[in-house]
Amino acid sequence: MRRIFIKKLETTGEYFIFLGVLIRSVVKRPFRFAQYLMEVEHLGINSLFIIILSGSAMGMIFALQMVVMLQPFQAEIGTGAAVAVAMSREIAPVITTLMLIAKNGSAMAAELGTMRVTEQIDSLESMSISAEHYLVLPKVVASLLVFPILTLLSNMVGTLGAFIISINLFNIDSASYLDYLFDFLSPRDVFVGLIKSLVMGFIVSTICCFFGLRTSQGAKGVGDSATKAVVASSVSILVADYLLATLMLQVIYA
C-alpha cells in the first residue's frame, strides 16, 4: 500500500512538471495554426453527432423524471425551468465531457502512446522539436475552444428535448412552460456551465496527453495508457465539478 501511494505521488508530481513544460511552450514559436484547426475539426466537428444525441437524451430523460415528480404537486409546468437550470449548471458540462473523454480522450492517449513506442516522438526530440509544443499544445488549445461550444450545444438540445417531451407527452401548456423557463434560467447559470467545461477541457486534454507520452512496453502499454487516461480524467473532472460547484455557489450565487 505504501509503495502504491508513493507511486501515485510521483505520478502526480510528474504531471505538474509536465504542465509547467506545457505552459512554457505556449509562447514559443512557431505557432502552427493549421494543426490547431485540424485538432478543432477532429475534437469538435467530428463529435457533433454524439453530443447532440447524448444531450437530447439526457434532457428528455430528466424531463420525464421531473414531470412524474411534480405532478402530485400540480407543478409540472416548472419542468422546463428545472431541466434548463440543471442542464446549464451540471448535466451539460459533465455529460459532454464524459462523452468527449470516451471518444477523444482515449484517442489522444493512444495516438501519443503509439508515437512513443514506435519512437516517432524520440525522432522529433532528436531534431530539437518539443513534443509538448508540437503535439500536445494544439490538442489542449483545441479542447479549450471546443468543450465550451459543445457544452452549450448539449445544453440547447437537452432543453429542446425536454420541451418536446413535456408538450407532446404530458400536454403542458407551451406558453406557460416557456414563461417559467425564462423566469428561472439566468445567464449566469449558462456562464457557470461554460466555466466548468473550460476547466474540464483543460484537465481532460492534459491528463490524456500526459499518460500518452509516458507510454512504454509496446502495444500493451498503449492500451494501459489509454485506460489510465480515461479513468484518471473521468475521476478528475467529477472532483473538479464538485469543487467548482462549491466555489461558484459561494461566489456567484451568494
Which residues 6+ apart lie within 8 Å of 126 measured at CB? none
Tell me the H-state helices in the chain.
2-25, 33-43, 48-70, 79-86, 92-100, 106-117, 120-126, 131, 137-170, 174-184, 187-213, 218-251
pTM over 0.85: yes
Q: CB under 8 Å to 217, separation ≥6 — which residues?
A: 117, 224
Q: What pLDDT sits at residue 16?
A: 85
Residue 101 lies in a domain: yes
Distance CA 54, CA 186 (A): 23
Handedness of CA 196, 199, 201, 205 (dihedral sign): negative
Q: Is 182 a domain residue?
A: yes
Does 32 fall in a domain? no
Q: Examine residue 5 and state whether it is found in any structural domain, yes or no.
A: no
* Per-residue pLDDT tens listing for the chain (254 residues): 677 778 778 888 888 888 888 888 777 777 777 887 888 888 888 888 999 999 999 989 988 888 888 877 877 788 888 888 888 888 899 999 999 898 888 888 888 888 888 888 888 778 877 777 878 888 888 999 999 999 999 999 998 988 888 888 888 878 888 888 888 888 888 898 899 999 999 999 999 998 888 888 777 888 888 888 899 999 999 999 899 888 887 776 65
Cα separation of 127 and 156, whole Å? 46
Evaluate whether residue 152 is within a structural domain.
Answer: yes
Q: Burial-class residue 57 by CB neighbours within 10 Å (0-12, 13-18, 19+).
A: middle
CA 66 to mean position of chain CA atoms: 25
138 found inside a domain: yes
Q: Do residues 130 and 28 lie in contact, with contact meaning Cβ atoms separated by under 8 Å?
A: yes
d(CA 203, CA 223): 20
Number of domains in the chain: 1
pLDDT digits (tens, 9 = 90+) for 200-225: 999 999 999 988 888 887 778 888 88
Residue 218 lies in a domain: yes
Domain of 203 in residue numbering reads as 47-251
Q: Is residue 39 part of a domain?
A: no
